[in-house]
Amino acid sequence: MKYISTRGLAPSLSFEEVVLTGLASDGGLYVPETLPQFSREEIASWVGLSYQELAFKIIAPFVAGEIADADLQTLIDKSYQSFRHPAIAPLVQTDHNEWVLELFQGPTLAFKDFALQFLGNLLDFILAKRQQKVVVMGATSGDTGSAAIEGCRHCDNIDIFILHPYQRVSEVQRRQMTTVLDDNVFNIALEGNFDDCQNMVKASFADQSFLPDGRQLVAVNSINFARIMVQIVYYFYAALALGGPARAISFSVPTGNFGDIFAGYLAKRMGLPIDQLIVATNQNDILHRCISANDHSKRPLVHSLSPSMDIMVSSNFERLLFDLHGRNGEAIRDLMESFKGGAMPLSAEVMAKLQAEFASYRLDDEETISVIAEVFDKTEYLLDPHTAIGVQAARKTRRDKTTPVVCLATAHPAKFPEAVTKACAVATPALPHHMADLFEREERYQVLANDMAGVHSYMAAQIKS
């Protein structure tokens, strides 16, 4: 399996090379040259497999023999040992033909654990084989950071630096990162928003001269295709549990950086019968505006009750645009150059393809709180604000009520107590027992200005030879 850049100028790479490279040298994102294809008969044969067994079936074609089957299964099994529920991704019914897929059963209570527990183990495996040390650098709008830190904290060959927007993540999200005191973990609170953090990470990959000799940056953001690959699995898992592939399933996905729903798009292209893919956004609604009205223009970022979706530049959308433009790297280079000016209008042909693949909906904070309250009142099931947006988007855009819809629950409600208490007037939702003392743990992080030279200087000073 070879991987190619969305901008068409970078060399094609193997799977292991892509894992270690992250962003392509031409500024693009890597995608598989071809996608694995599964027939309905093959998918049907997977009914009853455990999550770990199914993950092997989905992931193995992407590594294409670079990792022995036994080693790959060991990596998968190890990655999900710390999940609190034996089903790994349990389904909960919230209405007629409406289901919530609980993706928060991992160690940091967010869907990012699915990919980042695996990515941490995968990196350690590859680096040990190569006798190499690297620097992981990532940006987070809330959940990626803690999941990446948890996945990498025990890795012998990794120093990890995570940038989060200062005072723009929830207190639980911050403490999940900043109370990890391992010697190889460094948290940077950047005086800016998530897009500032993400832009700095991308720029750092383009110029790594600040690193000590022999070190390179590795991405844990969803620009690293290994993350997307692992997220494909739970679409198959949910569909098989609800009668797939004999019938189609729809999915509603709280969406910020477009990585999670892009995994669903790939699952559909690989052969999983999916009726609708629904993009659910908060008031930072650039994706909803693009899909519904061809308005992919930047607007000021708004701080919301669903901070993991406070994103205006959705990096993984480029991967979709690459497909919609016939995998034409030159067309993507032109689009990305246009977007630097603040807008990125799409052709009528591309818009038709986009709207054929995706529906979309947006909610503001007031509407989000209302949904949390309504669902809790009727079912006593507590949604976090991101998941609430996904549930309402499903209810507003479903075209066929006889088709089951799965709403991806991307985080545990205890991570966002402000929204939950506003909605339900209940006491602060309790953290799971393994995290009950979170607010008593010592914190360690560095507040830095939105200045790349200063961040690079700080990083270089922390990296041990």
pLDDT at 426: 65
Confidence of residue 432 (pLDDT cuts 50, 70, 90): confident
Specify the higher pLDDT residue, 170 or 184: 184
pLDDT at 427: 58
Element (H, E) at 280: strand 274-281
Confidence of residue 8 (pLDDT cuts 50, 70, 90): very high
252 within some domain: yes
Specify the higher pLDDT residue, 427 or 82: 82
296 within some domain: yes
Confidence of residue 417 (pLDDT cuts 50, 70, 90): confident
15 within some domain: no
Find the mean pLDDT for residues 125-147.
91
**Active-site option among 2, 112, 298, 401:** 112
List of residues 6+ apart from 48 with CB closer than 8 A = none
Kindly report, residue by residue over 232-243, the tens digit of the pLDDT.
Answer: 999 999 999 999
Tell me what percent of the residues of the chain surpass a pLDDT of 70.
99
Nearest Cα neighbor of 66 from 256, 244, 229, 191 is 229
How far, in whole angstroms, is CA 311 from its chain's centroid? 12
Burial of 41 (0-12, 13-18, 19+ CB in 10 A): exposed
Kindly report, residue by residue over 279-313, the tens digit of the pLDDT.
Answer: 999 999 999 999 999 999 999 999 999 988 988 88
pLDDT at 433: 87
Distance CA 14, CA 233 (A): 21
67 within some domain: no
Distance CA 254, CA 106 (A): 18
The answer on pLDDT for 102 being more than 90 is: yes
- Residue 406, SS3 per DSSP: strand
362 within some domain: yes
162 within some domain: no
Average pLDDT over all residues of the chain: 94
pLDDT at 422: 85
Confidence of residue 90 (pLDDT cuts 50, 70, 90): very high
Find the mean pLDDT for residues 183-190.
96
What angle separates helix 144-152 from helix 171-178, to the nearest 10 degrees?
A: 20
Max Cα distance, the chain (Å): 59
pLDDT at 141: 80
Find the mean pLDDT for residues 148-156.
91
> What is the CB-side half-sphere exposure of residue 254 using CA atoms within 13 A?
33
Burial of 326 (0-12, 13-18, 19+ CB in 10 A): exposed
CATH of the domain at 356: 3.40.50.1100
429 within some domain: no
The DSSP 8-state label assigned to residue 343 in this structure reads B
pLDDT at 425: 66
Find the mean pLDDT for residues 129-156.
90
Tell me what percent of the residues of the chain surpass a pLDDT of 90.
85
pLDDT at 223: 86
pLDDT at 459: 97
Distance CA 372, CA 21 (A): 40
Confidence of residue 120 (pLDDT cuts 50, 70, 90): very high
The answer on pLDDT for 17 being more than 90 is: yes
Residue range of the domain that includes 267: 87-109+231-424
Kindly report, residue by residue over 333-381, the tens digit of the pLDDT.
Answer: 999 999 999 899 999 999 999 999 999 999 999 999 999 999 999 999 9
| Backbone phi and psi for residue 408, each to the nearest 5 degrees, phi listed first | -75, 120
Kindly report, residue by residue over 383-411, the tens digit of the pLDDT.
Answer: 999 999 999 999 999 999 999 999 999 99
* Counted domains in the chain: 1
Find the mean pLDDT for residues 202-207.
90
Which of 30-39, 143-152, 421-430 is predicted least confidently?
A: 421-430
415 assigned to active site: no
Number of residues that this document lists for the chain? 465
What angle separates helix 112-130 from helix 69-79, to the nearest 10 degrees?
A: 140
Find the mean pLDDT for residues 248-271.
97
138 within some domain: no
